[in-house]
Amino acid sequence: MRILETFINNKFQRKAFIITMLVAYSSQTNSIAADSQRDGFEYVKNKNFLKALDCFTAALKEHPNSWAIMQSVGSCHLELGQYDRAIAILQKSIEVGGLHASQCKNMAAVYQRLGQPKKALSWLKLACSVDPTQAADPNVQAAISKLQDPANNPSGSLTASDYLSSLVSFKGWRKESMPLKVHVRKNIQIPGFYDEFLSLIRESFDQWAVATGGAVSYRFVESPDGANVLCDYTDRRELVSSQHELGIDGITEMLVKRDNTPGSANIIVLVKDGPGARTFKQGPLLRLSCLHEVGHTLGMHGHSPNNHDVMFSAATFGGASSLTERDKSTIRKIYQR
Ligand SMILES: [Zn+2]
């Protein structure tokens, strides 16, 4: 989510991010490159982490003392949301092969997704001390500064009934703005995905609206002119991220009025990994991205510290694809005020 400067000094920027891009799938082995490893990397590229895990596990049987293969196994566990297993095998990789920056970055990614930014940060700093060139890497620098950014480093209880106090700020739309006018813009490069995207956006607004007990309502409008919320979908990653940060594959830009209430919002969601990608994203992660971005447009600046909540700062495999009780009571409180 990015809140754009308005006619007043009310500029702040932030955005969901995740460390995954930093995670190196090391291709080093201590022997001849095995076919299963090559296949593994191919599966990683296609984001089929279950199959990739099979391949790396087979390779590890062949080379049981390869720290690099252990690391690849750990990366797959990370992507599959099996954090305990990821930590265990990464630790083993460190024991066997000594400390490498790539292992530290994997560890950082695990802790970031577990919602433990302080631990994530210390692993990233360790990566920089193990390999000083890391400290000069703009991706690492960006990840470190994002982890230090309060919007991505929410504090507060993981178990309280809501996470209002973890947000950097919040302000709901005014009553007079209801029902919110929402326009879903057809991307003429990828018209075929319009219906799907429309229904994802509808589903997202419905979930949040129901959670507010009707305080939030919306209607779709035919024209972008005068819409409160404009929703775009794209296959160009550069529109939703910078410096190769992956994350919730979306961004929300918001104009804020003088009284801090939302003025207008623009959601952009990445629905395909580049124009050349064979398939559209689908399933829970895409649903989560839409739900998350719609949450921002309803006036939440910041994130939940609990990785089960939709408003956690990163998309996690097996994470929420519908609102948690904490998401619901947070939005309800915002609109009770
Ligand atoms: Zn976010």
**In 3-state terms, what secondary structure has residue 58?**
helix
* Between 249 and 227, residue with greater pLDDT: 227
Strands 229-234 and 262-270: parallel
191 Cα to the center of ligand 1, angstroms: 26
216 Cα to the center of ligand 1, angstroms: 20
172-185 mean pLDDT: 96
293 Cα to the center of ligand 1, angstroms: 6
- Tens of pLDDT, residue by residue over 309-329, are 999 877 665 666 799 999 999
Lowest mean pLDDT among 80-84, 183-187, 204-208, 331-335: 80-84
Integer angstrom CA distances of residue 114 from 48, 87, 93, 282, 316: 21, 11, 20, 23, 9
Q: What's the chain's average pLDDT?
A: 84
pLDDT category at 99 given cuts 50, 70, 90 is very high
Predicted pLDDT at 337: 64
- Tens of pLDDT, residue by residue over 195-223, are 999 999 999 999 999 999 999 999 999 99
269 Cα to the center of ligand 1, angstroms: 12
16 Cα to the center of ligand 1, angstroms: 4
287 Cα to the center of ligand 1, angstroms: 14
Predicted pLDDT at 154: 80
156 Cα to the center of ligand 1, angstroms: 17
Integer angstrom CA distances of residue 57 from 60, 89, 194: 5, 11, 40
Predicted pLDDT at 33: 54
**In 3-state terms, what secondary structure has residue 3?**
strand
314 Cα to the center of ligand 1, angstroms: 7
145 Cα to the center of ligand 1, angstroms: 16
Lowest mean pLDDT among 154-158, 278-282, 289-293: 278-282
Domains observed in the chain = 20-152 (1.25.40.10), 155-336 (3.40.390.10)
- Tens of pLDDT, residue by residue over 22-37, are 454 554 544 545 788 8
pLDDT category at 244 given cuts 50, 70, 90 is very low
221-242 mean pLDDT: 86
Predicted pLDDT at 300: 93
In terms of residues, how long is the chain? 337
Q: How far is CA 91 from the centre of its chain?
A: 25
* Between 147 and 317, residue with greater pLDDT: 147
**In 3-state terms, what secondary structure has residue 156?**
coil
pLDDT category at 251 given cuts 50, 70, 90 is confident
Could you tell me how many helices (H) and strands (E) the chain has, helices first? Answer: 11, 9
Q: How far is CA 235 from the centre of its chain?
A: 16
**d(C-alpha 236, C-alpha 158), whole Å:** 34
Q: What is the pTM of this model?
A: 0.72
Helix ranges (H only) for the chain are: 35-45, 49-62, 67-79, 83-97, 101-113, 117-130, 133-136, 138-148, 194-211, 284-297, 325-336
Predicted pLDDT at 315: 65
Identify whether the C-beta of residue 123 lies closer than 8 Å to the C-beta of residue 108: yes
Q: Is the pLDDT of residue 15 over 50?
A: no
Q: Is the pLDDT of residue 149 over 60?
A: yes
- Residues lying with their CB under 5 A of ligand 1, a single-atom ion: 16
146 Cα to the center of ligand 1, angstroms: 12
15 Cα to the center of ligand 1, angstroms: 6
Show the tokens assigned to 102: 């790539």
* Between 14 and 84, residue with greater pLDDT: 84
280 Cα to the center of ligand 1, angstroms: 21
Identify whether the C-beta of residue 214 lies closer than 8 Å to the C-beta of residue 166: no
Identify whether the C-beta of residue 301 lies closer than 8 Å to the C-beta of residue 3: yes
66-76 mean pLDDT: 95
1 Cα to the center of ligand 1, angstroms: 6
262 Cα to the center of ligand 1, angstroms: 16
303 Cα to the center of ligand 1, angstroms: 6
pLDDT category at 17 given cuts 50, 70, 90 is very low
Predicted pLDDT at 77: 94
2 Cα to the center of ligand 1, angstroms: 9
33 Cα to the center of ligand 1, angstroms: 40
**End-to-end CA distance of the chain, in Å?**
23
229: left (phi over 0), alpha (psi -120 to 50) or beta: beta
49 Cα to the center of ligand 1, angstroms: 24
193 Cα to the center of ligand 1, angstroms: 23
Backbone angles phi, psi at 102, to 5 degrees: -65, -35
Integer angstrom CA distances of residue 299 from 66, 216, 264: 48, 11, 10
